[in-house]
Amino acid sequence: MAEPNQPEDVNPPPTAPVPETGVTANPPVPTAVTSTPPPKPPAPAKPAAVLAQEPSRRNFLASTAVGVGGTFFGSWFATAWTTFSLSMLGLTLGTVRFMFPNVLSEPPSTFKAGDASSYEENKVDDKFKEIGAWVVRHKDERGRDIIYALSTTCTHLGCTPNWLEGEKKFKCPCHGSGFKISGVNFEGPAPRPLERYAIRRTEDGQILVDKSRKFQKELGQWDDPDSYILL
């Protein structure tokens, strides 16, 4: 028989531990949970070097201005240097040309015109026209049979007349000046006769014409024995 008014033991007696048998208790059944997805992880921070390489607008404008300025300055400098170089080259070439002038190939001042016996009377031999002379056999005002050499330069404006055998005259195609077989002018604007060249016979009987010496009729120089060969 229990004792009256004895307090009850509120602490339950300890239970013996349940040995592990390798079987786990049934896991809790997952229940559908509607929740917001987790936020994306933040992007990794860029290195300081990369941030330094990204130009700001101010840096971009500054670099653009510097590039344009450099291009403009480079273009101006290149143009100036090219102009200076070409100027110096032209000056150098001009100096060299002045120091070494061009020597023009001119026909010789003297030439042989063959044997005197090969010339016919009252005939003009124009085979030497290319070198500036006609060799003529004709009688002079005194009736002497002579050979002389006439210049092919018109005394008007320096054109080259042509010998017209049918008309027995030299005719200038430029302004119509006419000269007789003797070289005396008689028509057109030519103010004076054609000039003669010095002429003589060599030791071997050849005719030698010297264009470096000229004789003018209006000055009385056609009477000079060096202006003709007497046959």
Q: Mind listing the pLDDT tens digit for each residue in 168-194? A: 999 999 999 999 999 999 999 999 999
Instruction: Answer whether residue 116 is part of any domain.
Output: yes
Can you give the pLDDT at residue 162?
97
CB 170 within 8 A of CB 179: yes
Strand partners, 134: 150
CB 213 within 8 A of CB 198: yes
Instruction: Answer whether residue 205 is part of any domain.
Output: yes
Q: How many angstroms separate the first and last alpha carbons of the chain?
A: 201
Can you give the pLDDT at residue 128?
94
Domain extent, residue 202, equals 110-230
CA atoms 184, 187, 190, 191: torsion sign: positive
Q: Which parts of the chain sit beneath pLDDT 70?
A: 1-77, 94-107
Strands (E) across the chain are located at 110-115, 123-125, 133-139, 145-151, 162-164, 169-171, 178-180, 185-187, 196-201, 206-215, 229-230
CB atoms within 10 A of CB 39: 6
Instruction: Answer whether residue 51 is part of any domain.
Output: no
Can you give the pLDDT at residue 102?
56
Can you give the pLDDT at residue 157?
95
- pTM score > 0.85 for this model? no
Instruction: Answer whether residue 77 is part of any domain.
Output: no
Instruction: Answer whether residue 189 is part of any domain.
Output: yes
Instruction: Answer whether residue 21 is part of any domain.
Output: no
Instruction: Answer whether residue 38 is part of any domain.
Output: no
CB 211 within 8 A of CB 197: yes
CA pair distance 15, 11, nearest whole angstrom: 12
Phi, psi of 219 (to 5 degrees): -100, 5
**Rg of the Cα trace of the chain?**
61
Can you give the pLDDT at residue 21?
45
Instruction: Answer whether residue 176 is part of any domain.
Output: yes
Task: Name the domain count of the chain.
Answer: 1
Can you give the pLDDT at residue 1?
41
Phi, psi of 32 (to 5 degrees): -65, 120
Can you give the pLDDT at residue 52?
46
Q: Which residues contact 188 (CB under 8 A, 6 or more apart)?
A: 156, 172, 175, 176, 177, 178
Can you give the pLDDT at residue 96?
59
Q: What is the CATH classification number for the domain harbouring 215?
A: 2.102.10.10
